[in-house]
A = this chain, B = another copy of it.
Amino acid sequence: MLNSTDLETPLLLLDEQRMQHNIERMQSRMTALGVRFRPHAKTSKCPEVVKRQLAAGARGITVSTLKEAERFFAAGIDDILYAVAIVPSKLDHALRLVRQGLKLTLLVESVWAAERLSQHGIQHGHCYDVLIEVDTDGHRSGIKPQDPQLGLVAHALRVEGGEGARLRGVLTHAGSSYALRTPEELAAMAERERAGCVDAAQRLRAQGHPCDVVSVGSTPTALSAKSLEGVTEVRAGVYVFFDLVMVGVGVCAVDDIAVSVLCTVIGHRPDVGWVITDAGWMAMSRDRGTQKQACDYGYGLVCHDSGTPIPELIFNEANQEHGVLQWNGDDTRRIEERFPVGSRLRILPNHACATGAQHECYMALPSSGGVPQRWDRFHGW
């Protein structure tokens, strides 16, 4: 149990025991399915977290910005996939990292970007490792497996004058799995993600292109796939902490959520049943990801300092540094006794990636019950 009396709030707490459970659950699943696991570090942006994922069996990491690549490389992680389509203005930065010894894999999805990447490699005497982004669910970017564009992008990596880029494989992300609700839907989406990405790889190979890597993943599909035949690696991010959106999708329980925002009651409005805290949208983020789900948690699920949810206290409104919680239980006039000024509450987040981004650090609560440790996370680009 946390003795939180002296901690200044708002503060992002990390329950190491829950996190370790989440890490082992995913890793054992990936091991059983016979694939390499490459966790997405955009969720934590924290070397202490990623070290634990690697210690459990992950091989390499995925990032969403070159700053993440730079910071994790500085922390000793030397195999990194940057899973957002690269553009020329970022290539000098990428080159600096590979020159320092990082094994960096880049992503393309257009002929133009593929050509520029190859030319940059030739110009600077480096051969970039590249994946092509494949669209298996229509939710965002990528090329559909059957689209002739796929072969054209692969071809564009082979510009004349040298070898500036080397096609390593294909990558897809079934992000639309976040909108699903049942195990059957999730298993079907996982199979669609797998089959589409394997199809893209086979089409490239049939055209004479190398395609060793077949990379798929999202937390819901990674936890729902029945088979990963033809897949070589899986990526997932938010599983490490989980959050209320993942509870709504059905891939975890509330008790699996490893991060929460500790806050302090700073006032009341007994006439309307409001408890006011110092965790506003700056501490929670503006993410309202559960709004479209069956259970809308407002800005987060309010819990006692011990971690036990308080279903009658609803986090309806948030200002920058004020959270406004609506008491929906009995005896509204007694909210000042129930939740006195100075008392602590914990809020479970809708979206762990978004809430984490609002904080400079985690206060990690060791499984052993020892003294909380500050784990820094980074911010910006």
User: What is A's interface to B at a CB cutoff of 8 Å?
Assistant: 5-11, 42, 64-66, 84-90, 93, 109-110, 112-113, 116, 133, 135, 138, 140-142, 175, 264-269, 272, 276, 278, 281-283, 285-288, 319-322, 324, 340-342, 353-354, 357-361, 379-381
Contacts and interface: CB of A to CB of B under 8 A. Distances in A.
Contact of A322 (B87, B140, B359, B380): B140
A116 B358 CA distance: 30
Given A286-B354, A360-B380, A342 B87 contact: yes
Given A42-B321, A64-B321, A113-B342, 7 more contacts: A8-B89, A42-B320, A64-B320, A281-B354, A285-B286, A288-B288, A357-B358
8 contacts: A84-B266, A84-B322, A87-B265, A87-B341, A113-B342, A135-B269, A141-B276, A379-B379
Copies of chain A in the complex: 2
Chain A binding surface SS class: loop
Contact of A66 (B8, B282, B340): B8
Given A64-B321, A341-B113, A357 B282 contact: yes
Contacts of A8: 66, 89-90, 93, 381
Nearest to A10: B381
Contacts of A86: 266
